[in-house]
Structure 1
Amino acid sequence: MPDSYRRIVLASRPRGAVTPDNFRLETVATPVLQDGELLVRNHYLSLDPYMRGRMSAARSYAASQALDQTMIGGTVGEVVASRHAGFAVGDAVVGVLGWTELAVTDGAQLRKVDADKLPLSAYLGAVGMPGMAAWYGLNRIIKPRAGETIVVSAASGAVGSVVGQLARLQGCRVVGIAGGPAKCRYVIDELGFDACIDYKGGKLEADLAAATSDGVNGIFENVGGVMLDAALARTSAFGRVALCGLIGGFGGADMALHNARLLLINRLTVQGFIVTEHMELWDQGLTELAELVASGQVKYRETVTQGIAAAPEAFIGLLQGFNFGKQLVKLI
């Protein structure tokens, strides 16, 4: 067992855009395990947009990230020491152990995974929290029917990419919104979306209108602001909106909705959701996702940064849309 390990803590709360100065890299001593505890060596750290909201002291659906404590974050790794009856050395486990190379835990909210069936990294993406967000928002809120048109923002990201593929498997026409020609080509050619709008092309509303001439029945929203506004303008009567994220507002962009009147005119159902509030469905959703990924019916892509010291810059890049697919930090 190593005598020490490195972690990243929140050193200060951002004022506007996140900067490297908001974080601090520390080396700390490895604690002695007590009865009922285990030590996990993390292999991968997940970086996700929700972390930006947790860095703020503003009231939200969950407690703010504490200053001078390990940054919150999903992890997948291996048990390297155990005094816990439910976990053995060598077990592969997924949890929320944070931006840290090692972690001592009592095993609460830790889940064993099969490292032979899928790569460990997949359990932080398509078969992890992002995949579950896609599965829940699509199946429980949008409830798509074959032949309907679904619009997905951040379509090349960890959540949006899974949403579109699941909708296609259910017989829907899927239109993505992504940033740049390369991401749009990937969304269409690799993921099988029917169309993809490059919002950086300067013609978001016109291009989306051309791609959705028969209207939009469902919107899976990850960004908000102008993208949600453009999608609302294309909605048909009794459309459904699954509001998963509002990453577009993290940089101070205008999030006003000029087409809000369509919420009434088209009798839309809009529901925001936090996927961790629906843990009773995770076994079902993750089992389905694992089979789809293992069979190649759902594909995924990863952007992997090496080493815990690089996590802050990778996170800042994620908020700016630099990642392609799921953003991970490889720790070993």
Structure 2
Amino acid sequence: MMPAYNHTVFDPVTYILTGILGTEESHVWISISFFLMYVASLFGNSLLLFIILTEQSLHEPMYVFVSMLATVDLLLSTTTVPKMLAVFWFRAGEISFAACLTQMFFIHFSFLAESSILLAMAFDRYVAICDPLRYTIILTKSVIRKMWLAVVTRSFCIIFPLIFLVKQLNFCRTNLLPHNYCDYMAIARLACDDITVHVWYGVAVAILVIGLDAVLIAVSYGLILRAVFRLPSKDARLKALHTCGSHVCVILMFYVPSFFSNFAHQFGNIIPGYIVNLLANLYVLIPPMLNPIVYGVTTKEILKRVINVFYRCCSRSLVPS
């Protein structure tokens, strides 16, 4: 039972992650599904990275951006899921304050980095379809390196202040954190201080960063569609749309769970807490699991090399020693 709140200020040495309260009877099945999603994420993104890094023909801007996305997905899922499983399987919910802040930083850093990479990929598709003759001139290796540096720098500069904002808070409530992982607002709500600044910082990031990325991506695809439907050949139009199909799927898988999770947080007093927590898990579990599947299935070049990898592995295993 959660202890009653008091007004004695204390420095939190540890937090206790409680998991998804209200779903205790289903913890086994939830943990199994989380575990399978994590294994699929590790395997899929690692295979994607291996194929792109080892195949010289895939060292093109489009595939470099896919490898960036896979790297961020691995960071996001590895930062969160192992601790989730420890909470479900071993009741090991204790986490130090420093470790909690570190996890919080990498979760939100990965989320912003993924949004930035999706924007970069939208720009890549825009140039490839709307200005194909200048594609190799615009997206050089130097430009791509600078874009990756911009993604990392932007995400770091936006998320790093959260650590100082949290460290300035005075905590006078319970150290039980009703979540699977250390979420920024979940920690801030345990404080006895006014957290208006924290709330507005989160809103500003959601609107001015994530929202702006989504708008720019939508504008890019609006221009892409206009260019596609101006193509004289139906085959050319279908080919252009196909090259963007996988990216659109990935964008929807990233932004839709995020939207519903934020919506649920805003109406937390109406929506049951366990539903809010389940939705909050969607954007750290589903995109990292499905992104490599989408690119592996819909991208002919990647699919061909995935099949070759499995064929070579099977051939070696069947050869008698």
- Do the two structures share a fold, i.e. TM-score over 0.5? no
Higher share of residues assigned helix: 2
Higher share of residues assigned strand: 1
Normalized against structure 2, the TM-score is what?
Answer: 0.25
Which of structures 1 and 2 has the larger relative contact order (alpha carbons within 8 angstroms, sep 6+)? 2
